Structure 1
């Protein structure tokens, strides 16, 4: 990849990160507008990392649970399309400012709960792609619970649980595991609507 291409990649991630900052600050409409503009630019056949990251955050910005589900499904599809040679950035759902390293997620410089700089070695692309899936399936499970489709929720929750072997024993990994356990308990006792498991809600 040339320096010009890298700069272009960084620019897209920076723009996504700026939209996510607005989202976390409560300006959902503006975040949706900005993410929608970027999505239109990169297109359905654009870079898988960009699409996965953007779709994951766009899901967070939706008011309608059905729209949230649609965007989370797009995020999962994009993650499935990551090529073995692609180097994922931070995983979806991370707060800005954390370094990449555990699961593919998208926004470079857009970290959430991850290891701090220098804590662990950055995984290779294949490992990083695997680290994407617990959170992606967790979000889908929460979507299905809100849509009162408990069986579909259980399927994705089981997939999230099965994928946790790729998570490191760090703040991010432990947070995702705890969020999965919480949703499992809620699904068992409160099959109605539950909040989406935002990363900032991880203990």
Structure 2
């Protein structure tokens, strides 16, 4: 009789322990998938980072973290797209630049064009649109955008270097060399951070 009570007690405890353990295995990734918001993102990130702090070879957590950051980035990009018209110009420009850096060239061009319409004398969006167009091998459009960047800010060094690269791709070698030489006369004189300038070594003819 005592043995049966002991076995029953053991089984009950095992079931309770299993239930607690099972409940503790919350699928934070699934929760975020079903309700994507910052709070669920934060909890999921903390959970998988905690797993990695206990086991640096927990590659499943690495994978979940990668998915989470990717999904949260896209969620925020959608918010920025949907609210683009109410953003300040600096945020609009940075958003378009992020799309450019992500290789989403067509999307970035859409937002650079909006900036061109709103602030036609702002050189930077023209220059970056030229870069996006160049990446898509749309060289004639890129040339026009980069020429506009120079027209709106004559000392825009990066625009000259990129324009020379575009003209080289178009087979306009003489024009490319002239553009490059003129651009070098503005090296270090542009109002943008000189560390962001394209160096002479980046241009190969």
Q: How high is the TM-score relative to the length of structure 1?
A: 0.50
Moved more, 30-39 or 145-154: 30-39
Structure 2 vs 1, CA of residues 24 and 153 (structure 1 numbering), >3 Å: closer, same or farther?
same
Cross-structure match for 2:148: 74
- Residues 150 and 159 of structure 2 are in contact (CA less than 8 Å); yes or no, is this contact kept in structure 1? yes
Instruction: Report the alpha carbon displacement of residue 163 of structure 1 after superposing the two structures with TM.
Output: 2.2
Cα deviations across residues 122-162 of structure 1 (Å, max 9, x unaligned)? xxxxxxxx4x3x22211111111010111001101111222
1:61 aligns with one of 129, 132, 136: 132
2:169 aligns with one of 114, 124, 146: 146
Q: Pairwise mapping of residues 12-91 of structure 1 onto structure 2 (< 5 A)?
A: 12-42=89-119, 46=120, 48=121, 50=122, 52-62=123-133, 63=136, 64-80=138-154
Q: Distance in 2 between matches of 1:41 and 1:182?
A: 32
Q: Distance in 2 between matches of 1:182 and 1:60?
A: 15
Cross-structure match for 2:74: none
Instruction: Report the alpha carbon displacement of residue 41 of structure 1 after superposing the two structures with TM.
Output: 3.0
Instruction: Report the alpha carbon displacement of residue 171 of structure 1 after superposing the two structures with TM.
Output: 7.0
Greater relative CO (CA pairs within 8 A, separation 6+): 1
Q: Distance in 2 between matches of 1:33 and 1:137?
A: 23
Instruction: Report the alpha carbon displacement of residue 167 of structure 1 after superposing the two structures with TM.
Output: 6.9
Q: Aligned-residue CA RMSD in angstroms?
A: 2.6
Cross-structure match for 1:181: 201
Unmatched segments (≥5 aa) in structure 2 = 1-86
Moved over 6 A (4+): none
Q: Pairwise mapping of residues 91-170 of structure 1 onto structure 2 (< 5 A)?
A: 130=155, 132=156, 134-164=157-187, 166=189
Q: Pairwise mapping of residues 191-202 of structure 1 onto structure 2 (< 5 A)?
A: none
